[in-house]
Amino acid sequence: MRIGVLVSGTGSNLEAILSAGLPVVVVAADRPCRGLQIAAERGVATELVERTSFGTDFDRLGYTKSVVAALENHRVDLVVMAGFMTILDPIFIERWDGRVLNSHPALLPEFKGAHAVADALAAGVAVTGCTVHIATAELDDGPVLARQEVPVESGDTVESLHERIKVAERRLYPATIRALIDRIEHEEQQQG
């Protein structure tokens, strides 16, 4: 199994995934970020597929094709999104159908989207959490592989709550990826 990880930010989930010894062959990013630095420091190949437009002229299909090509260069067969902030064209999911994973900082199907932690806090829920799921063409949708609850504490800010959720993610995400790889390899062995 050859994993490609997509990042845009601090890369603390990437760090946990690498520390778990998962077979990551490339880390790709849409912008220069700490995630790329972490990969380079650990001797993992990096691909910066820089997104140059965040406006209405963004060529999502063209950009997605570049990301596909970058991962294909490294013969990736499982894609792990770890804080990747660009929504890709559905051709990406078609290319790795059922083999694209995402971790979302809320208990899906609640609080989809980029502001999940702030939305959970604003809604006044007592418990939120994180969800690892197989990505589909729909944003923050698709079969759930694992979820973990995280309590909201009085006085929580978006930052403090997100950090507590990320502590849970850094344990749940590597373990869930490992379990999926084991399941895929077991199924492949049975098929001969």
Residues that bind ligand GRF (CB under 6 A): 9-14, 82-83, 103-105, 166, 169
**What's the closest the beta carbon of residue 105 comes to ligand GRF, in angstroms?**
4
**What's the closest the beta carbon of residue 30 comes to ligand GRF, in angstroms?**
13
**What's the closest the beta carbon of residue 190 comes to ligand GRF, in angstroms?**
32
For residue 65, CA distances in Å to 3, 7, 89 come to 18, 17, 9
Give the H or E element holding residue 5: strand 3-7
Catalytic residues: 104
- Closest to ligand GRF by CB, 71 vs 117, is 117
- Closest to ligand GRF by CB, 63 vs 173, is 173
Q: How far apart are CA 56 and CA 47, in angstroms?
A: 25
Q: How far apart are CA 49 and CA 102, in angstroms?
A: 19
Pick from 76, 82, 98, 96: which is nearest to 34 by CA?
82
Q: How far apart are CA 88 and CA 100, in angstroms?
A: 12
Are the beta carbons of 3 and 23 closer than 8 angstroms? Answer: yes
- Closest to ligand GRF by CB, 99 vs 166, is 166
- Closest to ligand GRF by CB, 69 vs 157, is 157
Q: How far apart are CA 140 and CA 26, in angstroms?
A: 23
**What's the closest the beta carbon of residue 192 comes to ligand GRF, in angstroms?**
37
Q: Tokens in use for 153?
A: 């504490």
- Nearest residue to ligand GRF, by Cβ distance, number only: 83
